[in-house]
Amino acid sequence: MKTRTFSFVECLVLLLLVAAASTVAIPHWTSDGMLRNERGAVEVLREIAEAQDLFHTRNATFAMMEELTGFRTGREVELIPPAFPSGAPEYGVIERDGYLFSVYLAAKDGEGALRLVDPDEEHAKTFWVAYAWPRHYGITGRSLYAINAQGEVFTWENSVNPFSSREARPPANLLGARLGKDHPLAKPPGWVERLSWTRVP
């Protein structure tokens, strides 16, 4: 009985077909994954807003990310059930599905308080902002998202010098005037005001 083997040409054709299918499928799969991550990032920002509302109801002040995850920061506040029970934030940043998240309160020095820094308690009663940006730009996502204390979500293309990774995170004042009237961080450098943010419905 003669066993049939594949010829070199047949193997080459098969290899070319697999390569062609990969060039179509892999970008589509990556694009779908990024889209899913980006939708998830918006949902997490809305969860942060809900947690902030609950925290504010109990404490008459807004929370830092550590407090939203159930960790004490030295402030005299009543913690709420952890909104993100996945562990302590690393330098005020948590990660979910390829996106990184940070919450800023206004600090006493006029900058953004990201973590274990004394926030300006007067402003912490009224103002906060949270950002979501991709862990790996172009792989886990592209867009940058922000939510202000009014619960408005905005997105920015994030394509020029993109924010990506824990080290390259957005500054507290990146949302600029969209932070809200009289927000202590709403007077950023001029280049920030030129960013074209789009409201997310």
Quick one: which of 68, 61, 113, 114 has its CA closest to 87?
A: 68
The ranges assigned to domains in the chain are: 34-196
Helices (H), the chain: 8-59, 65-68, 121-124, 190-193
Distance, in Å, from the CA atom of 114 to the CA atom of 68, rounded to the nearest integer, reads 13
Exposed (0-12), middle (13-18) or buried (19+): which is 82, by Cβ within 10 Å?
middle
pLDDT at residue number 157? 86
pLDDT at residue number 28? 44
Distance, in Å, from the CA atom of 107 to the CA atom of 150, rounded to the nearest integer, reads 19
pLDDT at residue number 13? 78
CB 120 within 8 A of CB 105: yes
For the chain, list residues with pLDDT below 70: 1-4, 6, 19-30, 85-86, 109-118, 180-181, 186-194
Please report how many Cα atoms fall inside a 13 Å half-sphere around the Cα of residue 198, on the Cβ side. Answer: 8
pLDDT at residue number 62? 93
pLDDT at residue number 31? 73
